[in-house]
Amino acid sequence: MATRVEEDPPAVEEPRSSHAPDARQPQPNPLREGLRLERMAEPCTMVICGATGDLTERKLAPALYNALLGGFLPPEFTVVGFARRELDDDAFRDHLLAGINRFSRNKPAKPAIWESFARGIEYHQGDFDDPDAYVELAKHLDRIDRDRGTSGNRLFYLAVPPSLYPEIVNQLDRAGLASHGDRRRSGSRRGWTRVIVEKPFGSDLESARTLNRELAEVFDETQVYRIDHYLGKETVQNLAVFRFGNGLFEPIWNRRYIDSVQITVAETVGVEGRGEFYDATGALRDIVQGHALQLMAMFAMDPPVEFHAEDLRDEKMKVLRGVKPMSAADVATNTVRGQYVSGWVEGEKVVSYRDDEKVAPDSETETFAALKLGIDSWRWAGVPFYLRTGKALPSRVTEIAVQFKQAPLALFARAGVPQIEANVLAIRVQPDEGILLRFGAKVPGQGLQIRTVNMDFRYGLSFAVDSPDAYETLLLDAMIGDPSLFTRDDEVERAWEILDPILDAWHAGNGGPLHFYGAGSWGPPAADELLERDGRAWRRP
């Protein structure tokens, strides 16, 4: 995000991320007059470890196809699928094509574009614990560098369960595939190496630290891209533009004018087919740890000194540091966990979570979580941040709703007009991306009546272009070397520091009971009570 301006194409020997003053700090190259090379990835090979899985088909293949369609991938770009399954290149290409034809925002694939994409798709069969598979992979990649001109630039995407990360990164290292390719590791080959790791990043603070340590033994932090696809969503990136690109909002973005903030990540889907993963994970780890806390950090951060990755991540980190971990007593008061039972969502019958075939029949895993958090900072002291997320809710919506304080004087009350609703600014992340402002207006006529009306900006109406998919944006960022929209090691660890006490109290049984809610409802009544106690109510998006 930071470097989305005109840039020089970096020289192969000089990775963009190695630039002083801070080795951790990737910086944009100087502007190059007259040339807009902003989103063109460099020639590189992307190796997808675990390429035969769901993620490749659903997200990665469509994202790459659309990036190519948009002209953002160079002709040299090559994908290598690395997985255990016996496949040949053609079968792997078919797997990607099927994904594009099913899940791409532009579908079906255009034959000419697909043919050019397919020429750069290869498969490498091997077991992740077999050193020979990596030795062969290294040869395979060298051959691609020679044949396709990918300049030794490599992006490894770990589309595998996190338990396999240590094995894979160590094997990559042993096969000489992990080196940075810059002068700091003299004697290494040319070109850059980066690794993208998927969420969940650990399951608690300790496991996240271990994972960070294991990655750090092999890679520099500048090489590690921890993906949180919410940061790639267009509306989330727009948060920074909305706040810092306009003079209007930033002066009121604080405790003096804002009463409270609600962050909702609501899904209509249950756990369909993902019961095994989900039952070991739960809503707090699945959504709050990454997506919801990242939304909160982007919403609440101070303006960065510059729009560079490290400045941005420093500011987000300050927000997370301001969120104080709860005591067990706070957990019981300030959190609600729920699990859905059978009901109806969008006209479809949904079975109880515990009746899912991959879920334990006595599972205590939460499919809904609501939290009241605070940020101890000059800007936000005393402003509650209410977060909620759930599966099997009545509508799919992600939004940040800001409730402003009431006008200081109820002037119109003297004329018998009832108290007007407080102003609300709702930033809709998805679907119907846009920003809505609710304020009071005089109803036309001779008397004085006030009604709340909407001022409504919608992406779909204001812009004629489709928003790129989050993965499209993030893959390009990783190829370009811009980590702004990826989470840093300290951010993930801090998120776990915030959530660990909640998980511990819930599991110890002293963090409040597990509440049940009917599929198709907005969660358990206890979630409403969490706000009612404070004289507030959840917005019904």
CB of 281 to ligand BG6, least distance (A): 8
CB of 231 to ligand BG6, least distance (A): 11
Query: According to the binding rule CB under 6 A, does residue 399 interact with ligand BG6?
Result: no
Q: How many residues does the chain have?
A: 541
Site string for ligand BG6, 211-250 (x = CB under 6 A): ------------------x---------------------
CB of 229 to ligand BG6, least distance (A): 6
Nearest CB to ligand BG6, comparing residues 121 and 429? 429
Which residues from 429-458 bind ligand BG6, rule CB under 6 A?
none
Break the chain down into helix, strand, coil percent, rounded to 5.
Answer: 40, 20, 45
Site string for ligand BG6, 259-278 (x = CB under 6 A): --------x-----------
Cis peptide before 325 (omega within 30 of 0): no
CB of 296 to ligand BG6, least distance (A): 16
- Name the residue whose CB lies closest to ligand BG6: 286
Residues 313, 486: Cα–Cα separation, whole Å:
9
**Active-site residue among 229, 291, 308, 515?**
291
Nearest CB to ligand BG6, comparing residues 87 and 296? 296
Q: Which of 220, 279, 286, 472: binder of ligand BG6 (CB under 6 A)?
A: 286
**DSSP letter for each residue of 440-472:** EEEPSSSS--EEEEEEEEEHHHH-SSPPPPHHH
CB of 474 to ligand BG6, least distance (A): 12
Which residues from 320-379 bind ligand BG6, rule CB under 6 A?
none
Residues 79, 45: Cα–Cα separation, whole Å:
6
CB of 295 to ligand BG6, least distance (A): 11
Residues 174, 298: Cα–Cα separation, whole Å:
38
Which residues from 178-217 bind ligand BG6, rule CB under 6 A?
199
Nearest CB to ligand BG6, comparing residues 298 and 531? 298
Among candidates 128, 257, 198, which has minimal Cα distance to 474? 198
Residues 2, 484: Cα–Cα separation, whole Å:
6
Nearest CB to ligand BG6, comparing residues 172 and 295? 295
412-to-108, 453, 455, 509 alpha-carbon distances in Å: 58, 17, 22, 49
CB of 199 to ligand BG6, least distance (A): 6
Residues 506, 283: Cα–Cα separation, whole Å:
13
Active site residue 291: yes
Which structure tokens are listed for 190? 């040319």
Nearest CB to ligand BG6, comparing residues 286 and 314? 286
1's CB contacts (< 8 A; 6+ apart) are 237, 240, 307, 312, 477, 482, 484, 485
Which residues from 43-82 bind ligand BG6, rule CB under 6 A?
none
Residues 165, 212: Cα–Cα separation, whole Å:
10
Nearest CB to ligand BG6, comparing residues 286 and 482? 286
Strands (E), 231-384: 258-266, 335-341, 343-345, 348-350, 368-373
Cβ neighbours of 408 (radius 10 Å) = 6
Residues 280, 265: Cα–Cα separation, whole Å:
20
Using CB under 6 A, count the residues that bind ligand BG6.
Answer: 4
Nearest CB to ligand BG6, comparing residues 40 and 236? 236
DSSP three-state, residue 3: coil
The contact set with ligand BG6 (CB under 6 A) reads 199, 229, 267, 286
> Which residues carry out catalysis?
291
